[in-house]
Amino acid sequence: MTIYDIAKVAGVSASTVSRVINNKENIKKETRDKVKQILREYNYIPNDQARGLVTRSTKLIGILVVDIRNAHHTDIAFVVEKFLRKKGYCSIILNAGEDESEMCEAIRIIEQRRVDGVLLIGSMFQNKRVKTEIIQNLSHIPIVMANGYIDRSNVYGVLVDEYEGVKKCVDLLFSKGKNNIAFIAKSTTPSSQEKIKGYIEGLKKHNYLEKDIIIIETNNTLKGGYKATQELLMEKKHIDAIIYSEDIIAVGGIQAVKDLGLCIPKKVAIIGVDNTIYGQIISPSLTSLDNKMTDMALQASNILIDDLEGMNHPEKIMLFSEIVERETT
């Protein structure tokens, strides 16, 4: 069913049908009504593909996440998809992986799809190869990075001050009388690097010595958190608080602390980051730094659409994280 078919039935030209479909002015009411009627009758649905070929727009947004199964990415994907759809766009979601070449591959795919804009979710996309790929092949469409930024004219960044946030976590722990604070992280992401910086600065503020800074590397899983925590606490019995780079690691940590028979938060206090539902499920419930991921995602989509519609926006905006206190502190 094409506009030609409709045109034939209606006894008008295809252009007229097109005009009716696109609500153009200057059509006789009669004609418009008749065409509309037939459109409905035949349940005509325009072909976005053909339409896009001439309007040079797909109304498609490419959304890249490392792994949608990360709780915060999931929430983001939900919020963003809903928002974009309301604005008339569809979302192509790609799990781009952690590997730089995988990411570039994903970028190339959305490029081939001629998406109207791109959302890069997560700090992981802030690396050299991705940057090069974007400069070379994606400089003609708007890109918004949620939790990241690249200094290019078509790239926007929405960031969260995780640095300040973690510093506040350290403050909170000191205020609770904790003096031996460790940090357990999946450290390979730029976002984690920020958090680590915040941790170190936080400690320094409280006159910590360089040698007392304890940063443990692990992977981003329940098991990773468990193992790292267990090893840490067996070796360094004076530790009385641990901050984790992500909730899921913290949850593993809580389980380890419990298994060691240590009291939370009395013997060991714990703080996670992301404020996911995991924190409400685990017992004791987890104090977590809410890094406003969904706010960020919404801001990001908003900026993207605004740019697409010709509105201006600052290249870079910053959101403020917030500690949600629960039983582990």
Partner DNA sequence: TTGTAGGCGTTATCAG
Partner DNA sequence: CTGATAACGCCTACAA
Query: Where do contacts with a second copy occur on this chain (CB under 8 A)?
Result: 43, 45-50, 52-53, 58, 60, 67-69, 74-75, 77-78, 81-82, 85, 90-95, 108-109, 111-114, 136-137, 222, 251, 255, 258, 277-278, 280-283
DSSP structure string for 191-236 = HHHHHHHHHHHHHHHTT--GGG-EEEE--SSHHHHHHHHHHHHHH-
CB of 110 to DNA, least distance (A): 15
CB of 54 to a second copy, least distance (A): 10
CB atoms inside a 10 Å sphere around CB 54: 7
Site size toward DNA (CB under 7 A) is 30
CB of 90 to DNA, least distance (A): 16
C-beta of 97 vs 190, nearer to a second copy: 97
Out of 23, 30, 40, 69, the residue judged to bind DNA by CB under 7 A: 30
Q: State phi, psi for 266 to the nearest 5 degrees.
A: -60, -50
DSSP structure string for 82-114 = HHHHHTT-EEEEEE--SSHHHHHHHHHHHHHTT
Contact present, 184 and 195 (Cβ < 8 Å): no
Give first-to-last CA distance, the chain, whole Å: 64
C-beta of 45 vs 209, nearer to a second copy: 45
C-beta of 199 vs 226, nearer to a second copy: 226
Q: For residue 319, list its beta bridge partners.
A: 160
Q: Is 18 in the site for DNA (CB under 7 A)?
A: yes
Q: Which of residues 52-81 bind DNA (CB under 7 A)?
A: 53-56
Angle in degrees, 0-180, between the axes of helices 71-86 and 293-308, rounded to the nearest 10: 30
Enumerate binding residues for DNA (CB under 7 A): 1-4, 11-16, 18-19, 21-22, 25-28, 30-32, 44, 46-47, 50-51, 53-56
